[in-house]
Amino acid sequence: MTVIVTDTGFGPDTWTVGYDGDTALDLASDTDPVQLVERLAAQVQMIRIAFPSFADGRGFTIARQLRLSGYTGHIRAYGHVIADQYAMVRRAGFDDVEISDDLATRQPQDQWLARANWQQHDYQARARGTAPAAV
């Protein structure tokens, strides 16, 4: 089983279209998204990008390139993404994260929620002095 992580915490997978045909794609971390741009605009509603290891950051680049290419569909990170990476995942263009039940047990919902305010709490806002005051 898997757990879906969003800005509101853990939840079930609500993707109802499914991973069939041309409506969804699973991408490996070494995929070149530039080669997919024409196909994505017309058909693909959801893309899952693999994170084989929390130390493999290529998925962040893939998501960002997809967004910069104009892809507006759903992008999900799946695999070994850790709570500390959640803000970066969201800033890169992902809509949510799919983790294993085992990882969700080791890193419970409160650890993910601590990073859910990803739009305001980043190092750039702190450097500019525009980040909210720490409570």
Tens of pLDDT along 10-24?
988 877 655 555 688
Q: Taking the model in full, what pTM does it have?
A: 0.81
133 inside domain: no
The pLDDT tens digits of the residues spanning 68-118 come to 988 888 999 999 999 999 999 999 999 999 999 999 999 999 999 988 886
Query: Is residue 135 pLDDT above 50, yes or no?
Result: no
100 inside domain: yes
* Number of residues assigned to the chain: 135
93 inside domain: yes
134 inside domain: no
Total domain count for the chain?
A: 1
- Provide the CATH number for the domain around residue 58: 3.20.20.70
101 inside domain: yes
38 inside domain: yes
110 inside domain: yes
Q: Which long-range contacts (CB under 8 A, 24 or more apart) does 32-40 make?
A: 33/62, 33/65, 33/66, 33/69, 34/65, 34/69, 36/66, 37/69, 37/70, 37/71, 40/66, 40/69, 40/71, 40/73
Tell me which residue range forms the domain holding 83. 2-128
Over residues 44-51, mean pLDDT: 91
135 inside domain: no
